[in-house]
Amino acid sequence: MIKNILKGLQGYAGAFGLISKLKLWKFFAVPMLISFVTAIIIFGTAYSLSDNIGHFIAKIWIWDWGHDTFETLSAFLGGLIVLVIGLILYKHIIMALSAPFMSPVSEKIEAHITGKTVHYHRNTTFNQQLWRGIRINLRNLGMELLYTIPILLLKLIPVVNIFSTILLFLLQAYYAGFGNMDYTLERHFKYKESIQFVRKNRGLAIGNGIVFLLFLLIPVIGVILVLPLSVTAASTKTIEILNVEN
């Protein structure tokens, strides 16, 4: 697992140079716009709702003693819930809508790495790639929310909340890497086969997703560059694994 996580991280080395070398920036124009606009809408809405959710949670505490402390904790938890859910939605929306634009990028990277200009893999159309992206990300969105909610509840338990933060970050990273890897996998595997492949190589997905999430901490530039670099990194490492297995 640790070895594969490091591989996922190493995929980013040289990603910027590879994009420039293969002249791929033009393919990222629409996805970068989608990412920027989606970030403004989702995180702007999340910021406006955080206080309301915190106030709603505070109403659970009906006693006078400790009310101020619980209200402070509720405000923090409310903001965290909105931030996490907002990040989850942002991630899956941009990945689903960017699928038709990312698949050609992944294919060009594969041709560069393997040296093969003729491929004998699944041939899919723009609409099929979009539907595949929506289907995968809807599935991942449901799974991620299913695991995220109980982890967020662990935040109310002292000491345990430290480990829940790490677990929550790794969960987010896994599904981010999952989406980035699928742009390559959709040409080689059907829906269920791709899920099995990522499960088998979950460390690679986590490693890729860790940097993906860290990029989002960089104001403005982060949401613009996160897709080009993370997709390039995921494509190179996924193709390497496929070549070994074949």
Question: 26-78, pLDDT tens digit by residue?
Answer: 888 898 898 888 888 887 777 777 666 666 666 666 666 666 666 666 666 66
Are 81 and 53 spatial neighbours (Cβ–Cβ below 8 Å)? yes
Q: Which two tokens stand for residue 129?
A: 């790639």
Q: What is the mean pLDDT of residues 157-164?
A: 75
| Orientation of helix 160-188 relative to helix 202-215, angle to 10° | 110
Distance CA 245, CA 146 (A): 32
Question: For the chain, where are the alpha helices, taking DSSP H only?
Answer: 2-10, 15-21, 29-58, 67-114, 126-153, 160-188, 191-200, 202-215, 221-245
Q: Which two tokens stand for residue 229?
A: 């670099």
pLDDT of amino acid 139: 93
* pTM for the model: 0.84
Residue type present at position 44: G
Q: Which two tokens stand for residue 224?
A: 């613009």
Please report, for the chain, the start and end positions of each structural domain, with discontinuous segments joined by +. Answer: 2-245
Are 211 and 222 spatial neighbours (Cβ–Cβ below 8 Å)? no
pLDDT of 120 over the 50 cut:
no
List, for residues 173-232, the tens digit of each pLDDT value.
999 999 999 999 988 888 899 999 999 999 999 999 999 999 988 888 888 889 999 999
Cβ atoms < 10 Å from Cβ of 132: 23
